Structure 1
Amino acid sequence: MRTDISFKTEDGTILRGWHYLPDSRAGKVPTIVMAHGFSAVKEMYLDRFAETFAAAGLGAVVFDNRNFGASDGEPRQEIDPWQQVRDYRDAITYAQSLPETDADRIGVWGSSYSGGHVLVLGAIDRRVKCVVAQVPLASGHDNARRLIRSDYFAGLQAAFDEDRRARMAGKPPAMLPVVAEDPTAPSALPTPDSWAWFSETGRTRAPSWRNEVTLRSVEMFTEYEPGSYVGFISPTPLMMVVALGDVLTVADLALAAYERALEPKRLVALPGGHFDAYVKDFDASAKPAAAWFVQHLASR
């Protein structure tokens, strides 16, 4: 069962999404708090993951990140990773307030950029009792160095500086495409599979998705280091779902972060690339995640 929801963050911004419940339940249920990755909106397959969790007897609170999709927030299309972490924490508070939620059995699920967020959340918010990080960002700096040619970096940093001067002068923030058909053209996610997935999924499932972010979003990406928190998650159980062919949030960085995590932990290795976790490898990613949540939340 799915219902539309909205809630206010601590700073008064309204976030909107869905609340999923199992079709049959007795009493309060463990609940998973979920949001999407870099620029993506909830219609981009988060419904399928939440449905899988509900079929396993779990509730789910799914929301669009501020400045995107159905949620409020300004400037539109801006991604501040630390603000998104704070919004996740407000979403946990909201989920705990629902009469159907067992407030002592909260899990968090994230994918790609939000896969990095849930690593941070698992370390800093002990209301979280179980974590699943799918194809997560581990290091903004190292990942950016993989995605951006070294001879382009000085020009990018100069663009960051110029954007900062322009904003200080009262001009609107500079914008950048999320993806481009030509992987050598300026974009935030310059891989061919990023173009293919966002273009197709935006057309078929998520008409509210827009192919642009603020340039400042990319600057904040390069400064964000969620993998530095992974050693602090224990004793909260952690599952990491890593796509071995991932060239966006590159697999070896995620695997290295997993090695730094303490027990209890589990690694699920997918054979495909980053976006296969949502489609071709969906069962291989969603079903182990649901089982992990059931194992560590249902018996609490």
Structure 2
Amino acid sequence: MKRLEVLFLMDPLERIDVHKDTTYVIMREAENREHSIYHMLPGDLYLDAGRVMGRISKVTFNAGKGGNDNEKWFCMGEPEDVDLSTMDVLFLREDPPFDMEYLYSTYLTGFIEREVFIVNSPRGIREANEKLYALNFPSIIPEYMVSSDLKRLKGFMTSVGGTMVVKPLDCCGGSGVFVVHSEDRNMNAVIETVTAHGAKQILAQRYIPEIREGDKRLIVLNGEAIGAVLRVPSAEEHRANIHVGANCLKSEVTERDREIVRTVAERFAEDGIYFAGLDIIGGLVSEINVTSPTGVQEINSLDNVRLEEKVIDFVEQRAPQYFSLR
């Protein structure tokens, strides 16, 4: 197997929580197989005379995971400007929000998509807004409405039994997500806040009471479910995000999960969505995460597996298909 040049376009390494971060274990597994690992910040991507360039640094890892002192786990080489078409693999792992700068980075990296194996496809990332992409699969999602109009949203809430979840379209990690009840005196204020007084479209979904039992994160790789973890909200929360206190419990990939994956697999393949995280509540998909899906370390710990091995296996299989196109 040829040693690969693997570039990660992502946030600063200093921000990584090595005990939870999915990108971290993917990087370590790639290095364990003697591939060369590079890091680049989104702001260091540019186009010059028709070439997609980046100011990148080689990354090496120190023994152990380190602790709070991140200098103990990685070393950065001197940055250099490189034609990114010379890379073998590019992981796009920048965290949301998906703003205009994020959008522009997908256009630039899209110019080298025929020469470099990119996970996930820049075009696919543009297509797959993490709140809206699931709406392409109506048979596996709860009832929903996308609107900025208070009256229309209240009418939808009535039609689904008087309780709904409202979500901004451009946030992540549970930010700006509210459960709204028809008898809540703050209902109007909440909707006005999330819609910026009617200036922003939001996603409203029927409230799924099974959220109290947990939100399953299903990891999908190349159209196959490879692992799952159940995130259970804390007693005072409706959000099942880990960073707001959700507990992670062992979970299995069920036949319903496989049915869901079969439903999305063809579209994922068309859009170049190779690595994704599906959020499933009560057997229904609430969101599809494609920018920097997480959950691998939690699944590894609970199931005594190393899902990152499957990720790098897949990359090693697919990347050589691009070499002849250079």
Q: Same fold (TM over 0.5)?
A: no
Structure that is richer in helix per residue = 1
Name which one, 1 or 2, has greater alpha-carbon Rg: 2
Structure that is richer in strand per residue = 2
TM-score, structure 2 as length reference: 0.34
